[in-house]
Amino acid sequence: MSTTYCCVYCRGSVGEQGEGLRCERCGADYPVRAGIPDFLPRPGRPNATGVDTAELAATVDNYDAIHDASLFNVSVEMREAVSRVRPQDGQRLLDAGCGMGLLFDHVPAGCHSVALDVSHVALDKTRARHPHVRTVQGMGEALPFPEGSFDLVFSMGSLEHFISPEKGLEEFSRVLVPGGRAVLLLPKKAFLLRNAIHYYIYPNFHPVQFVRRALLRLRRFGGMHVQIRDRHFTRPELVAFLRASPLAVEEVLDVPGTVPSALAYVYLAVLRKAGG
């Protein structure tokens, strides 16, 4: 399947232009670097969703730094998330905020999978890990895909970092087919010690990576305004946030389901677009 792109400024169709891509309606150019098209909306130019891009440049740098020293993986939660919707061969699937592409460890290779992230470093890692997955640099709040492009949209611990999670959900809805589903992992506010406990109970935690990341943070962010955003939810806050979106809420669960609710560290939400 060849992915069809649309312009993040005017939603016109995007075609090839030399080494890069260009909007056929407004002429916006999108460079392609190392096989990854760059659809990050540029600051100072109004984009189709009106998402604030003033923070973007610094945010991207910070995410690149983090992905240079990844911390742990949430494979238990991801497996559970995938099992709720059981992707089938031939379905079109988007992971918005893919990081290094760990979700695709759990998705059939026969799906038409697209991985999107703001970080080029993260996308390079996704490509190396899963060469069959199409990688696209962009913002989840200004997706470069036409309406109805996907059967499933995943966001595994990424929507809470978006500059506008609300616009993120609107975009997930726009790019889903009628009847398509969005699957989200979002952090629980109640789990105050969540990081500490996470480090101890999860087998994938790497102490060396943790120290490396801590040092990186000090070097990169020392004395700077940290622009990476993070949102945590109580259940009522999460339900209110999801209900305000154009998608219908199918379920909100604690995961992993194997631990008592008080120890679960994220919520898993499944949303559905009307119709289909």
Ligand X SMILES: C[S@@+](CC[C@H](N)C(=O)[O-])C[C@H]1O[C@@H](n2cnc3c(N)ncnc32)[C@H](O)[C@@H]1O
User: Which residues contact ligand X (rule: CB under 6 A)?
Assistant: 63, 73-74, 96-99, 102, 117-119, 122, 139-141, 156-158, 161-163
126 is in the binding site of which of ligand X, Zn ion, none (Cβ under 5 to 8 A by kind)? Answer: none
Residues 43, 128, 151, 64, CA torsion sign: negative
Q: How far is the CB of 268 from ligand X (least distance, A)?
A: 12
Using rule CB under 5 A, residue 145 touches Zn ion: no
158 is in the binding site of which of ligand X, Zn ion, none (Cβ under 5 to 8 A by kind)? Answer: ligand X
Q: How far is the CB of 140 from Zn ion (least distance, A)?
A: 19
26 is in the binding site of which of ligand X, Zn ion, none (Cβ under 5 to 8 A by kind)? Answer: Zn ion
In a 3-state reduction of DSSP, which class is residue 44?
coil
Residue 131, CB-side half-sphere exposure with 13 Å CA sphere: 1
Residue 157 vs 180, nearer CB to ligand X: 157
Structure tokens at 101: 């592409």
Q: How far is the CB of 22 from Zn ion (least distance, A)?
A: 9
Euclidean distance between CA atoms 254 and 140, whole angstroms:
24
In a 3-state reduction of DSSP, which class is residue 250?
strand
Euclidean distance between CA atoms 251 and 58, whole angstroms:
35
Residue 23 vs 156, nearer CB to Zn ion: 23
152 is in the binding site of which of Zn ion, ligand X, none (Cβ under 5 to 8 A by kind)? Answer: none
**Stretch 22-41 residues interacting with Zn ion (CB under 5 A):** 23, 25-26, 28
With contact defined as beta carbons under 8 Å apart, do 183 and 85 qualify? yes
Residue 23 vs 143, nearer CB to ligand X: 143
Residue 99 vs 144, nearer CB to ligand X: 99
145 is in the binding site of which of Zn ion, ligand X, none (Cβ under 5 to 8 A by kind)? Answer: none
Q: How far is the CB of 19 from ligand X (least distance, A)?
A: 24
**Stretch 228-247 residues interacting with Zn ion (CB under 5 A):** none
Residue 3 vs 17, nearer CB to ligand X: 3
Distance of CA 192 to the CA centre of its chain: 24
Which residues neighbour 125 within 8 Å (Cβ) at sequence distance 6 or greater? 67, 70, 99, 100, 101
Euclidean distance between CA atoms 71 and 26, whole angstroms:
41
Q: How far is the CB of 276 from ligand X (least distance, A)?
A: 26
Residue 142, CB-side half-sphere exposure with 13 Å CA sphere: 26
Structure tokens at 173: 């809805």
Q: How far is the CB of 119 from ligand X (least distance, A)?
A: 4
Q: Which residues lie across from 14 on neighbouring strands?
A: 23
Residues 218, 222, 227, 231, CA torsion sign: positive
**Stretch 1-20 residues interacting with Zn ion (CB under 5 A):** 7, 9-10, 12
**Which positions lie near Zn ion, rule CB under 5 A?**
7, 9-10, 12, 23, 25-26, 28
